[in-house]
Amino acid sequence: MPEPVLAPPVLTLAGVAKSFALTAALADVSLELMPGEIHALVGENGAGKSTLIKIMTGVHQPDEGTIRLAGTAVTITDTQAAQRLGIAAIYQEPMVFPDLDVAENIFISHRDQGLLMDWRRLHEAASSQIARLGVTLDVRRAASGLTLAEQQTVEIARAISLDVKVLIMDEPTASLSAHEVARLMAIARTLKDQGVAVLYITHRLEEVFELADRVTVLRDGRHISTRPITEVTPDALVRDMVGRAVDHFVPKAAAGPHGELVLRVRGLAREGVFTGVGFDLHAGEVLCFSGLVGSRRTDIGLALFGIQPATTGTIELDGRAVLIESPEAAMRHGIAYVSEDRRKLGLAMALPITANISLASLRRLLGKLGLIDRRAELAMAEKHKERLNIRTHSVALEVGKLSGGNQQKVMLAKWLETEPRLLIFDEPTRGIDVGAKTEVHAIINDLAAQGVAIIVISSDLPEVMALADRVLVMREGRQMGIFAIEDATPEGIMSLATGERPADAA
Amino acid sequence: MTGWLQSVHPQTLRVTALALVLALVILFFGSQIDNYYTARMFNRISTSVAIILLIAIGQALVVITRNIDLSVGSIVGFTAYLVGDLLVAQPDLHPLVVVAAAMALGTALGAVNGLLVAYGRVPAIIVTLGTLALYRTLLVEYSDARSITTANLPKWVVELPQATLFSIGNLDIRVTFAIALGVALVVHLALTRLRAARRLYAVGSNPDAAAIAGINAERVVFTAFLLSGALAGLAGFVFLARFGNITVVAGLGFELKSVAAVVVGGVNIFGGSGTVIGVVLGTTLVDVIDNSLTRWALVSEFWRDALLGMLILIAVAADTLMNRYLDRLRRRRHMSELSAGTAPLPRETG
């Protein structure tokens, strides 16, 4: 009998495409997973990794393309179906039942176990599953008392108890300690030896080179490359990830001297979130916070605006140390925060444009008897409609009915009305179309020219290159470096952000 | 260090603390009220506990799934009156048929709640607040201002509350109390042993994870409301037997008492955890306080509801504080592991 040279792939994706509304999230992506391999999947934020995972686990259905499991075409209708087919995923935030013990968490999906609980057998079976992973964990403990890493272990044990053939690990190490990462990687290798195909998504390139057999790069929803790890270098990988035509990056012309020092931050930290952040910011200057998802860029913004105050460190405004423990305090100091999350932190979707714009500066609109002067409110809204080019037939329209770009402008108008001296933008152009994006960029540059100190938090490298005077790179809650835009390259930023280059190389 | 605290299940901590509080409360009233430790007091509290316990167990099943049933008081009144009416019309019905009728009626009323909450996706607090008023008004309409009176009820019903299963010394274990304890035992065994019942916890603990694990959350929540209705129906029958004279206000305020018993009994109001042992202790505590206050000279009995309210607040606050503390311990452990093996801080720039 002829011996097969290569085991057939356990999972094959061919020509998979997926669009949401008008944006193509994935186009013609193919991927083969072999039994007993660890396959790394890397790419910038928005490269399509999440969409790909969601298609493999049945959360989304592909618009085009086929999925084959051990050679047979399958349709993965939902997560249940995925599990039945032997495809499971674990995420950065584990999906455990905090009130149930470890053993019950592991076997919760098992159906064929009879009417009654046999706790002893359950605990024995759970212990042996945990042992299979080469770790020790008391299976009688409630999941609520476990660390994140331990909860992930429980999830992995649950997956392998279901005879998983493909295990997707989506940035499993993002919030783990070095010690815990080593343990997780050992688990991944154990699974590989047991013949499981592990698809390992990560932003940490050193993990890719330490762990993976092959690596696939996605960029802008497309498959760029799949190569054995022995045939790639970190540089080549970063090039594949960033890879846009280089002329796409037009660094901002070196700006003239900026105004006075507005903000001085030293040793800023929030326990368990970020640490060691320090920078200066002058009037008229744009500082961009760059970094990958989970790098805690946004948390610095939230700390400066008092939503999640810093626990240590100093913030000085105009040379005076200030304590910012609430958004009210931040606003009093002339700080404004244009949130990424328009729905949650930015806008009252059911209210008209007028009310949204006036929301943060109602005090100035108080007329006789302390009531809101509707005419002044209307004038305020009209002024911004002109200035920011908000496209609507009426400022009385509900904000929820505007396009994303116009919602962004309404939110900006609200904060401009508070006449901030420091304006923090969090992902100012996420989810808005190209035209509106250019407009928002022009507005930001215009504000800087007027002497407003500006922080832009962005995961979009071209945006960073276009807007920033200086770039601060974050990685896993640590400031990796800060440099003038003339000295920055997209590759340089990316390799700092992924940890391919250590902090002191900046 | 404090590591042992994390190895103890939070539920065990709750029940232990509760048992301690109950003991202290009994000791306190014993020192304040003459002739407190008597058989009469025990019988009084045990017959009263019998009713609340049935309702509270049903309430607990609902609360474990992250919901609440505010209509239980109205269901008790509704079944007590209608079953009373049935007995007046047909006094020769077999006792088991009567009990079955009461539970069936309660189940039907619970089914309305369950349908709206589980499948209609209306928040439980709104649905059951609505049916609380609705069932009560239906009862007022139906009763036409008549009352059920003891005189018209069959003899076995009127004598049921005094019926004693057995006595320990001069403490009588009444049949109704035994029924309630029996139900508690059955539900306790189900919640700890029955695989299907574990889904109540799963759904309440993390609904998203439950969905991924393939648990039909709608059916689980619907079932919880059915059971709550059934037990409130049974409680309605016991209520009828105990008081005999039933007017349209029967069972008024039982939603507050049952929620108090459940929350004080350590059932997490945000779902996911709770034990029958806790509910039995919580019910007993609430009822001991309720019954003792009427005999305590220092405090007017009109304070009973206020005290009940306060008890709920204290229980929830204590629980929140405990969870927050445990959470902080866990985070600290995580942080110390994080800082144990990571790169040095980057240099300061700026």
pLDDT at A505 over 80: no
Lowest mean pLDDT among A64-78, A394-408, B81-95, B219-233: A394-408
Provide the 10 A C-beta neighbour count for residue A369. Answer: 5
Residue A88 contacts residue A164 (beta carbons within 8 Å): yes
Reported ipTM exceeds the 0.85 cut: no
Confidence of residue B1 (pLDDT cuts 50, 70, 90): very low
Pairwise CA distance, residues A52 & A70, whole Å: 19
Residue A10 clears pLDDT 70, i.e. is over it: yes
Residue linked to tokens 């690990």: A169
The predicted-structure confidence for A209-220, as pLDDT tens digits, reads as follows 999 999 999 988
Q: Is B6 on the interface with A (CB under 8 A)?
A: yes
CA separation for the pair A483, A376 (Å, rounded): 44
B189 has a pLDDT exceeding 60? yes
Classify the C-alpha dihedral B328-B329-B330-B333 as positive or negative: positive
Closest C-alpha to A398, from A347, A352, A359, A343: A352
Cβ count within 10 A of residue A345: 16
CATH topology of domain B3-332: ABC transporter involved in vitamin B12 uptake, BtuC (1.10.3470)
CB contact under 8 A, B350 and A264: yes
Residues 162-191 of A with CB under 8 A from B: 176-180
Please report the pLDDT score of residue A249 as a whole number: 46
Which of A80, A91, A92, A97 should we substitute to test contact with B (largest number of B Cβ atoms within 10 Å)? A97
φ and ψ at residue A322, rounded to 5 degrees? -125, 155
pLDDT band, residue A172 (cuts 50/70/90):
confident
CB contact under 8 Å between B349 and A267, yes or no, is no
Query: Does B326 sit within 8 Å of A145, measured CB to CB?
Result: yes
Q: Nearest Cβ partner of B330 from A138, A147, A176?
A: A147
In chain B, pLDDT over 70 holds for what percent of residues?
A: 91
Is the CB of residue A61 less than 8 Å away from at least one CB of chain B? no
pLDDT at A109: 81
- Chain A residues lying within 8 Å of B209, measured CB to CB: 95-97
Alpha-carbon distance A268 to nearest alpha carbon in chain B (angstroms) = 11
3-state SS string over B160-210?
HHHCEEEEECCEEEEHHHHHHHHHHHHHHHHHHHEHHHHHHHHHHHCHHHH
How confident is residue B191, by pLDDT bands cut at 50, 70 and 90?
very high
Residue count of chain A, please give it.
506
- CA B204 to CA B270: how far, in whole Å? 7
Say how far apart CA B261 and CA B234 lie, in whole Å. 18
Residue A201 tokens read as: 């998504």
Task: State mean pLDDT over B192-212.
Answer: 91
Mean pLDDT of B79-86: 96
Query: Which superfamily does A248-334+420-505 belong to?
Result: P-loop containing nucleotide triphosphate hydrolases (3.40.50.300)
Q: For chain A, which residues make up each domain, given as ranges?
A: 11-243, 248-334+420-505, 351-418
A240-264 pLDDT, tens digit per residue, is 887 754 334 455 655 556 788 999 9
B52-63: average pLDDT: 98
Q: How many CB atoms lie within 10 A of CB A12?
A: 18
Asked whether the domain spanning A248-334+420-505 has the same topology as the one spanning A11-243, the reply is yes
Instruction: Count other Cβ atoms within 10 Å, centred on residue A213.
Output: 16
Q: What is the Cα–Cα distance from A467 to A483, expressed in whole angstroms?
A: 14
| Alpha carbons A4 and A454: distance in angstroms, whole number | 61
In this predicted structure, the answer to whether residue B98 has a pLDDT above a threshold of 50 is yes
Q: Using the beta-carbon criterion (under 8 Å), do A178 and B341 form an inter-chain contact?
A: yes
Residues of B whose CB is below 8 A from A91: none
| B227 Cα to chain A: minimum distance (Å) | 19
What is the CB neighbour count within 10 angstroms for residue B26? 17
B268 in reach of chain A (CB within 8 A): yes
Mention every residue, 6+ apart, whose C-beta is less than 8 A from residue B27. none
Q: In CATH, what number does A11-243 get? A: 3.40.50.300
Across the A:B interface, residue pairs with CB atoms under 8 Å apart total 123
Assign B284 a pLDDT band (cuts: 50, 70, 90): very high
Q: What one-letter code names the amino acid at A43?
A: G
Under a CB-based contact definition with an 8 Å cutoff, are residues A67 and A61 in contact? no
Region B228-242: mean pLDDT is 97
Query: Which residues does chain A have within 8 Å of residue B198's beta carbon, measured at their own beta carbons?
Result: 100, 104, 117
pLDDT value at B343 more than 50 = no
Nearest to B346 by CA among A304, A206, A482: A482
Q: Is B188 on the interface with A (CB under 8 A)?
A: no
Q: Where are the domains of chain B?
A: 3-332
Report the C-alpha gap between A139 and A147 in whole angstroms: 14
Count the neighbouring beta carbons within 10 Å of the beta carbon of residue A480.
27
CA gap B113, A155 in Å, rounded: 35
Query: What is the phi-psi region of residue A279: left when phi exceeds 0, alpha when psi lies from -120 to 50, beta otherwise?
Result: beta
pLDDT tens per residue, range B128-168: 999 999 999 999 999 988 899 999 999 999 999 888 988 88
